[in-house]
Each structure stands twice: as C-alpha cells, then as structure tokens.
Structure 1
C-alpha cells in the first residue's frame, strides 16, 4: 500500500510512504520491482531498520523498519525523501552496541545537515537517555517538540542550526528491543502535517497521549478519545499491522474541520503490541 505525497503536501520532506503486509515471512504483493520494494525485502530478511541512499530519479534516500507482533514481523514501513533544494530533514536508526546498555547511530540520512550528522555519528545514548534511549526504555513512540529548547533532546544546538523542530522516536522491538528509529522534521518542510500517539485503552477505544501539529488546522486536544470501531487507530488494529489510507471517512472520523481548512488527505498508522495485545498506534497525518 502506497501514498505518493506531493498530492497531500507540496512542501513535504517525504515523497513516498509505503507499507507492506508480511505473511509466511514474505512481503505480500512485492516482487522487488523497485528499489523501495527491494529495501522492504532486505528489511524483512534482516529483521531490523536501515537507511539507504537511492539511485531513483524521484527519491534520494529511504528508511525501512519492521513492525513486530510477538516475535513475528507483520509489516514493513518504507519512507522515502526527495530532499529537493536541500530540504532539511533527518532519518536515523540507533542500535545497541557493546556490552553496556547503549545505542549508537547505525545508519542515517541528513542531506545537507553536515554539522548535525557529525555530532550524531560520535554520540552514544544510554538506555533512558536522549530520545533514542528513551524509546528503548519505554518501548513506546515518543514525540519531542521545539527541539532547540527541549531538555530531553541532547543535540539541541545542532537541531537549532538545522531548523529542525520535531522528532518522533519509534521502537523496533518484538519480545526484545532491536533499534530506535528517529524521524526529525523541520519547520521548513515538515514530514507530516501531524504526528500522533494513541494509547489503547482497556475498553477497546483509544486516547490521544501525545501529538505535534506543524499544521494547526488538524490539531486534536491531548486526551481526545476515539471509539474502538472507527477512526485511524481502529484502522491499524483491524488491519493487524501498519497501513496507509486516503479514505476520507476514516480520516475525518472524530474530527471537526473549519470550512476553509484543508482536510487530512492521507495517513500512515503503525500499531505496536505487547505479546498479542495492541498497546498504541503511532500516526503520521498528511
């Protein structure tokens, strides 16, 4: 399933968002015809996340990461960027290293942000420290806003110089932690119009736990609830894996828009599980 993002957001850092269902340890409907298709297959085979540069005309780099349920990979997510005109934005994968509980940068894409890349390549984060370490510690997605002034974002000076505004850390983990994926978005060319983390509640519904909205037209209040049977979080639960959609009924569910507002035109929804039970859904809105 694929979204080609210029339709959704003309100045977006991302140009392509794909999810691949995995059954019997194979990517469904993926014959490896494109670089992104092949990256998804490699991601499935390795069982971890990676960032690569591309030779495609319409994309210069891509990030792929698996979504686990128990110890089984159920989906692969692939995000690609054109980074037109040195558009700022960052993909990172942080993986455990050495005998201590630390992560180091294992792959990344920084475009023209050489200073930020240089700092990142030399730093390590202990479990619980910095965004990569916090994601490891909680095994939940975490959003940091206003990076230049965020006490928990330890590379704030580099983020400020690169006009980087929002970071979302996403865990790659089955029964054991594998890696932390970071999407670091600028205020010049945001990766999405909104970033949301929905907590799965005991009654089957969902509560908005954390969010960031580069586009305030689509903002929801923290604590907003969604029922178990409608809306974007329910879509991910029903799909049993990561998915994208342009269905306006799903995208509008639980939201009110002003008459002159641009409605949400697409989304990526990524569920996370503890054993077999869904615990949260991470959403990118376009």
Structure 2
C-alpha cells in the first residue's frame, strides 16, 4: 500500500519530504518519519517501519528533481547520514545536519570542525563535483571519516549537490 500511495501522490513545493527538499534546494534529513506529520505518508510509513527519509535535490537548467531515500530501522540503507555545506566564505565545508545510529549528537561532535576542499572523500567531491565512494575510512583523514571510523563505520558514499554551477552541499552516508 505504501508503494502504491507513493506512486500516486503528488508533492507540492514545500510539502512532504520531496516538496520540502525541492523548496529548500538543499539535502534534507527527516528523522522519526512515523511521527512526522509533515511527512505526507507518515501513517503508511509507520505501518511498514520506515523511520528516516533523506531528500536530495538535483537541478539542470529549468528542471528540478528530488531523489528520496527512505530507510527502515530494521533494514537501514545506511547507519549514518551527514550534510556538509560551504561556510559563509566558501573556504571550507561545515556540518549542517545528520543522523547516526551509533552517535546521536553529531552537531556537538563536529562543532567548530570543517573540511577543506580536496580533503578526504567529502572534500574531494567538493573539488571535483563528482560523487565518491570510499570503502576504507581508515585511510581518509577528514574529520568526518575519522569520527565515522571511530564509530565502527568502514565505508561511505558521497554525493555533491550542485546548483548554479557551484556546490550547495555534500550528502554523505556511511555503512
């Protein structure tokens, strides 16, 4: 039923995970979807155990798309999600949001920390504008990889989000 409703639901700009991501133009993480009244299909999500959603906007010219990932607590697609974005001077990436099954307070963990352009997989995705895969976090010196490795995570996927020919944010998820 959740799949059927998903295929036949339209998301106006600003509503639901896709609509909120579309409006923000930035990646978005919604935790506890089964309790989030802003998630339009929350009742269906609760029935099938979906508890976390991640939205990623992609734009090309005049067209916009939103890619959404829905994760269930019993079968998570990742153990940690992080969103990093350029600081005001665009000289480094700073932590904006995240969710982790092993470390609940990522904001405190990354307070006053940053990632330089080209540093590790996340900084590399910023420098190249290309997605990155890393299957050995032990050899990635960025603060994000060091902390993820310390939490028992070993691999990451990194997606840069580009808008108006420059990086808006980087979404990383860890296994």
TM-score (normalised: structure 2) = 0.84
> Which residue number corresponds to residue 213 of structure 1?
100
- CA distance in 2 between counterparts of 1:258 and 1:272 reads 24
Larger relative helix fraction: 2
RMSD over equivalenced CA pairs, Å:
2.3
SS at the partner of 1:226? coil
Larger relative strand fraction: 1
> Which residue number corresponds to residue 17 of structure 2?
131
C-alpha distance 257-125 of structure 1, shift in aligned 2 (>3 A) = closer
C-alpha distance 237-256 of structure 1, shift in aligned 2 (>3 A) = closer
> Which residue number corresponds to residue 284 of structure 1?
173
- CA distance in 2 between counterparts of 1:153 and 1:174 reads 26
2:79 to 174, 187, 193: 193
> Which residue number corresponds to residue 156 of structure 2?
267
C-alpha distance 273-172 of structure 1, shift in aligned 2 (>3 A) = closer
Deviations 1:206-256 (A, max 9, x none): 111111113338x62266332314244202113321111124232x53144
> Which residue number corresponds to residue 30 of structure 2?
144
Which has the higher Rg, Structure 1 or Structure 2? Answer: 1
- CA distance in 2 between counterparts of 1:210 and 1:151 reads 20
Identify unmatched segments of 5+ residues in structure 2: none
SS at the partner of 1:198? strand
Aligned residues: 168
Q: Which moved more, 1:271-280 or 1:138-147?
A: 271-280
- CA distance in 2 between counterparts of 1:148 and 1:242 reads 30
Superposition misfits of 4+ residues, deviation over 3 angstroms: 255-259
SS at the partner of 1:233? helix
TM-score (normalised: structure 1) = 0.54
- CA distance in 1 between counterparts of 2:7 and 2:148 reads 42
